[in-house]
Structure 1
């Protein structure tokens, strides 16, 4: 399973991010490119403990969705997004692209952090799970926009 924390995977994600333009169209879903770039920042901020997202967690989320986050099966297209992670409205594409790159870089620099705080929804992850989850989420949305 690929991990955000592998150098070649991280470089590939950066190359794919570079290919996304304001004109990039989704192959599924409702978000435009700016909204997607904004949305993708949230899990990275959580991983580096710079998020203010609060959300109630319950046993169903932990049992059903936590395993899905680092499963080898692709995320389902058009899966529901919790309200706290929805990006609606208008966003400045260049600002959001730079923001996503910033948070990707920050997590990359923090990749050896063995004291990562628990995820506010899913609880404790191993470093391996954090890396897999981050890659899967970015990969899902980059594929959504054809890169």
Structure 2
């Protein structure tokens, strides 16, 4: 299973992020390419423990985590984004697209290098380093495919 723990997968994912262009259009969803880059950077901040979020109530987290991280089932194309991540899109100062890409890549690399990541995810509950590495790859891959990358 692909994970940011693999130097090869990290390099491949970085290259895909760097190929994203400002005029890329989503194949599904309402997120713009600018929002997607900001979203990926903020999601890495969650893993790094830099962006606290409230737990999401609903289906048992262990079941959701298993399906999302350990099965080959594709992620839903229009799943809801956590409110804190939606709010974070509005926090984004005026910045160039290249800077947003740079932050998304740097934060992803920070996650890959991290020796200590957040103990919990708002939806998936308890997380190991291996869980965060797998999630980091799957989440980036999901959004890169959203924009045809």
TM-score when scaled to structure 2? 0.84
1:117 maps to which residue? 118
Distance, in Å, in 2 between the alignment partners of 1:131 and 1:139 is: 12
Q: How does 1:11-90 map to 2 (within 5 A)?
A: 11-51=11-51, 53-58=52-57, 60=59, 62-70=61-69, 71-86=71-86, 88=89
Residues 88 and 49 of structure 1: is their aligned pair in 2 closer, same or farther, counting only changes over 3 Å?
Answer: closer
Gaps in structure 2 of 5+ consecutive residues: none
- Does the 8 A contact of 2:112 with 2:133 survive in 1? no
Distance, in Å, in 2 between the alignment partners of 1:26 and 1:14 is: 19
Distance, in Å, in 2 between the alignment partners of 1:43 and 1:8 is: 21
Gaps in structure 1 of 5+ consecutive residues: none
Distance, in Å, in 2 between the alignment partners of 1:69 and 1:42 is: 19
- Does the 8 A contact of 2:119 with 2:128 survive in 1? no
Distance, in Å, in 2 between the alignment partners of 1:58 and 1:22 is: 35
Q: Give the RMSD, CA atoms, in angstroms.
A: 2.1
CA displacement 1:12-34 (0-9 Å, x = unmatched)? 00110111011111111101111
Residues 116 and 2 of structure 1: is their aligned pair in 2 closer, same or farther, counting only changes over 3 Å?
Answer: same
- The alpha-carbon deviation at position 79 of structure 1 amounts to 1.3
1:135 maps to which residue? 137
- The alpha-carbon deviation at position 130 of structure 1 amounts to 1.5
Distance, in Å, in 1 between the alignment partners of 2:61 and 2:81 is: 15
2:7 maps to which residue? 7
